[in-house]
Amino acid sequence: MRIAFNALEKHARALFHNEKATLARVLIEERDRSVDADAEQLWIDEEKRRHDAFLKSELGTLPGHQALTGLGNVFNDWLPISPPAEVELTDESI
């Protein structure tokens, strides 16, 4: 069994990023049978609620460069990518 696992792991590591993500999702869903069957609909309902609140100006917004900078800070350790030094993001450039 160990040899089969090692071969499987080798093949999994050779997959493209999107294929790895799909494989991970499938394996997690298979493993976690306790997921709420209505989870997808709950997320759809939440998205609609937030969108409606945005349209009614009940939610604050950020300028694009601030939102992207904040997103970059969240993922910096996970995926260290930053724009070239000569690129400056401003409200006008987005």
For residue 90, how far is the Cα from the chain centroid?
A: 24
pLDDT greater at residue 85 or residue 32: 32
pTM of the model: 0.37
Q: How many residues does the chain have?
A: 94
Asked if pLDDT for residue 79 goes beyond 70, the answer is no
pLDDT greater at residue 68 or residue 83: 68
Asked if pLDDT for residue 86 goes beyond 70, the answer is no
| Gap between the Cα atoms of 18 and 6, Å rounded | 21
| Per-residue confidence (pLDDT) for residue 15, from 0 to 100 | 92
Asked if pLDDT for residue 2 goes beyond 80, the answer is no
Cβ-count burial 61-76 (b if 16+ within 10 Å, e if not): eeeeeeeeeeeeeeee
Q: What is the pLDDT of residues 19-50, one digit of tens each?
A: 999 999 898 888 777 667 788 889 999 999 99
